[in-house]
Amino acid sequence: MDQSTPPNRLTDRKRVAIVGAAIEEFLAAGYDATSMDRIAARASVSKRTVYNHFASKEALFAAILHQLWDASRTDHALVYRADQPLRAQLLELLGYKLRFLTNDVFLSLARVAIAAGLHSPERARDMVARMDEREEDLSVWVRAAAADGRLKTDDPLFAALQLLTQIKGFAFWPQVAMGQAPLGKREQKRIAESATDMFLARYA
């Protein structure tokens, strides 16, 4: 090991290399054909090093999706604010989600995940559960607004899922399943405004 490189920085560099190699492998070969051996070889690290960072291929794939999600957001956009209009907050929140859903790498990996899930319902459930962890921000926001008396719902999770489904119907499924181009800024704005107004007409 290079004595001038701190161990934690070297570890971080290896993790970045592993994630980058995994993305390339998943996109090139698909989920099932990708192995931890191939990822290790592409990243120029040992297989043991890969497992030191990620317990399984499933965990590595989930980490990639989470990393893309984290890169697409800023924390201030995810917190309910009692002193600000609901519409402005929702437009901001949905704007971040729409930008995330137009990420080319994410859409490509989503196709990989869906194709893999078709052959294994158990794997599909696991992937959905892992992704749901990162969609919790919307249900948290809805739950906070409902607790504050500004939304009328006894099932915030259901209401949040309704809203998210509206967004994905335009900005995710057509791109993943039918190869449509990602939405442009004008289309994103239109969809965010329409979904927000429909949601507030029902729940505000």
Does any domain span residue 136? Answer: yes
102, 186: one domain? yes
Number of structural domains (the chain) is 2
Render pLDDT for 19-56 as a digit per residue (tens, 0 to 9): 989 988 988 888 889 999 999 999 999 999 999 999 99
Encode the chain (204 residues) as per-residue pLDDT tens digits: 445 556 677 788 999 999 989 988 988 888 889 999 999 999 999 999 999 999 999 888 888 877 766 665 544 457 899 999 999 999 999 998 888 888 887 787 777 777 777 767 776 676 666 655 555 688 889 999 999 999 999 999 999 999 999 999 999 889 888 888 889 999 999 999 999 999 999 999
Does any domain span residue 163? Answer: yes
Q: What pLDDT is attached to residue 77? A: 52
User: Which backbone phi and psi does 94 adopt, to 5 degrees?
Assistant: -70, -30
- The CATH number of whichever domain residue 21 belongs to comes to 1.10.10.60
94, 149: one domain? yes
Longest dimension (CA), the chain: 62
* Rg, C-alpha atoms of the chain: 19
Six-digit token string for 100: 């995330």
102, 179: one domain? yes
**Residues written for the chain:** 204
Does any domain span residue 148? Answer: yes
Does any domain span residue 33? Answer: yes
175, 102: one domain? yes
Q: With contact defined as beta carbons under 8 Å apart, do 125 and 113 qualify? A: no
Does any domain span residue 160? Answer: yes
Q: How many CA atoms lie within 13 A of 134 on its CB side?
A: 20
Say which residue the tokens 């901001």 belong to: 92
44, 85: one domain? no
114, 47: one domain? no
**Domain extent at residue 120:** 64-203
